[in-house]
Amino acid sequence: MDSRLVVALDLTDADKLMEIAGNIGGEVFAIKINWPSIMIQGTGIVGELSRFGKVICDLKIADIPNTNSMIVESVVKMGAWGVISHSFTGGDSLRAAVESARNAKVFSVVSMSHPGSSDFINRHTDELIEVSRNAGAYGLIGPGNNPKELARIRKLAGNMVIMTPGVGAQGGKASEAIRSGSDLVIVGRAVYNSHDPLEAVRALNLEILESVQR
């Protein structure tokens, strides 16, 4: 499936998590899970989900290089295709995550989708993009609900892949995120809280496809 949609299954109920993943896995680019899911279900959930497609572990890693390496190695060993890390801890910490990922992809946070991102992170976005590039990160995380900032990040990112949260429950639109420079759009609650997650995924895929063709 040629999709640019990443579905965030921020769920702690294993049965519901696996049911939705099984239904939508063949129609999305990847499934994203975060700390609560992994803490409650264990890292084995990564391998279970990888049966349905690519899995991105949204861990927003922010520690010293050795700890970053341990975290990344653990989830990659279980089958993660990608890992999300913070970049504000510095180039050495991010580089450790990148090197430990081996063939897996590391996405670096340079701006977030919640209002508090403007308190600190957004003041240093340009520097964080440079840190990410120098550390060898595969891609960047930028806000899908802030088209102006996302477009600015796109200009600075070069050929780095941009993945964007903030679409759906946080007010952003998938089509607008794509037009502003996103390569991959993350949607969570609008899918897993839907009465029909598969239909929600298909509608989002169509919205993204139409925005690309314009």
**Which residues are the active-site residues?**
60
Query: Which residue is associated with the tokens 């420079």?
Result: 181
Provide the 3-class DSSP secondary structure of residue 59.
strand
* Cα 184–chain centre separation: 8
54-61 and 184-187: which strand pairing?
Answer: unpaired
Could you say which DSSP state residue 123 is in?
Answer: G
| Structural Rg of the chain based on CA atoms | 16
Beta-carbon contacts of 120 under 8 Å, excluding residues fewer than 6 positions away, are 88
